Amino acid sequence: MIDLDDTDRGLLRALQQDATLTAAELGRQLGISQSVAWRRVKRLTEAGVIKGRRLDLDKEALGFGVTVFLGVKLAAKGHVNLEAFERAVTAIPEVQTVQHVLGRYDYRLRVVARDLSDFERVLRRRIMTLPGAGEVEANVVLSEERRPGPLG
Amino acid sequence: MLDDTDRRLLRHLQADPGQSVAELARASGVAASKAYKRLERLEAAGVLKGLRAVIDWRALGYAVEVSLRVSLDKTEPRAFDEFMAVAREVPEVSEIQTFLGRVDVRLTVLARNMSHYQEIYRSRILTLPHIVDVEALMHVTTIKDVEALPL
């Protein structure tokens, strides 16, 4: 585990907003030199704190008007093959996120679709037919906020 | 309007957001100058909103992630706004979604360990306004996390 100081936290907050910022721009924002900013970002990347970069696209402009969070419970009867379920659910292109969870559901899914009827098609043809899938609960996303997280 | 070239560029860029425009152009079978112009246009139109660093919270010692599904008191017209305003003040809350469905709001809560989680839950979550019911899903493993659009 790596310890962070205020400068590291400032760098991470800035890069969460815009990962294309150069060391010079980061340095200016945080009041440190370009070389210090560069070394700090390198250290954070090498320590695995920055695990990657994600493209932020306007889903609606690209024709994906609906995002749905699904809770999926595996059918209790008989022997359930987790690997078969996970392999099949991962292969569905509309499924963006799959998390194995403990609680009322076994899996948490994030699904995108063009509209509600497109979502219904994905749900009926791809999700309900997954090996071992039992109860499914769908909640349609109305708004979403990504927060910086514990970097304060 | 987007055409097939735009979609092809975005599809390749999604798969590897770190690549240069030259690499992207080659992978997409488009001239570099054209790829550059297209990306500029997509950015100006707000389709391409940016590139964000993704943080591995486990590498920072946050081993616990909980998805909290919250039902709010709908007889209170300001329930959503007031709940969200206070939830935004909790640093350990990394995501907030509102829904149409059985659940009203969902929070992602990050904690160092279970006792830290319990402390956040008691002092910062249960004290949020207008909560009727809270249900927790504890994250075990992430099987897929691409958030790529099926373009």
Is the same domain home to B69 and B34?
no
Is the same domain home to B40 and B66?
no
Is the same domain home to B71 and B99?
yes
- pTM score, whole prediction: 0.92
B61 → chain A, closest CA residue: A1
Is the same domain home to B85 and B119?
yes
In a domain, B146, yes or no: no
Is the same domain home to B62 and B15?
no
Is residue A78 pLDDT above 70, yes or no?
Answer: no
**Alpha-carbon distance B141 to nearest alpha carbon in chain A (angstroms):** 5
Counting the structural domains of chain B, the total is 2
Is the same domain home to B25 and B68?
no
Contact B102 A137 (CB under 8 A): yes
Q: What percent of chain A has pLDDT over 70?
A: 97
In a domain, B51, yes or no: no
What is the per-residue pLDDT across B98-142, written as a single tens digit (0 to 9) for each?
A: 999 899 999 999 999 999 999 999 999 999 999 999 999 999 999
Structure confidence at residue A87 as a pLDDT band (50, 70, 90)? very high
Contact A71 B137 (CB under 8 A): yes
**Alpha-carbon distance A85 to nearest alpha carbon in chain B (angstroms):** 11
Q: Which residue of A139, A142, A150 is in closest CB contact with B62?
A: A150
Q: Which residue of B17, B84, B91 is in closest CB contact with A152?
A: B91
Contact A18 B46 (CB under 8 A): no
In a domain, B114, yes or no: yes
In a domain, B69, yes or no: yes
The residue that leads in pLDDT, B15 or B111, is B111
B52, A19 Cβ separation under 8 angstroms: yes
In a domain, B143, yes or no: no
Q: Is A21 on the interface with B (CB under 8 A)?
A: no
In which domain, by residue range, is B9 found? 4-44
* Nearest partner of B61 among A1, A86, A7, judged by Cα: A1
In a domain, B145, yes or no: no
What is the per-residue pLDDT across A103-145, written as a single tens digit (0 to 9) for each?
A: 999 999 999 999 999 999 999 999 999 999 999 999 999 999 9
B57 → chain A, closest CA residue: A49
Is the same domain home to B38 and B61?
no
What is the structure's pLDDT at B45? 94
CATH of residue B19? 1.10.10
Is the same domain home to B38 and B77?
no
Domains of chain A: 6-46 (1.10.10.10), 66-140 (3.30.70.920)
Is the same domain home to B36 and B86?
no
In a domain, B74, yes or no: yes
Contact A57 B141 (CB under 8 A): no
CB pairs under 8 A between A and B: 201
Is the same domain home to B72 and B113?
yes
Is residue B1 pLDDT above 80, yes or no?
Answer: no
What is the structure's pLDDT at B98? 97
Helix (H, G, I), strand (E, B) or coil at B118: helix
Is the same domain home to B61 and B120?
yes
**Alpha-carbon distance A71 to nearest alpha carbon in chain B (angstroms):** 10
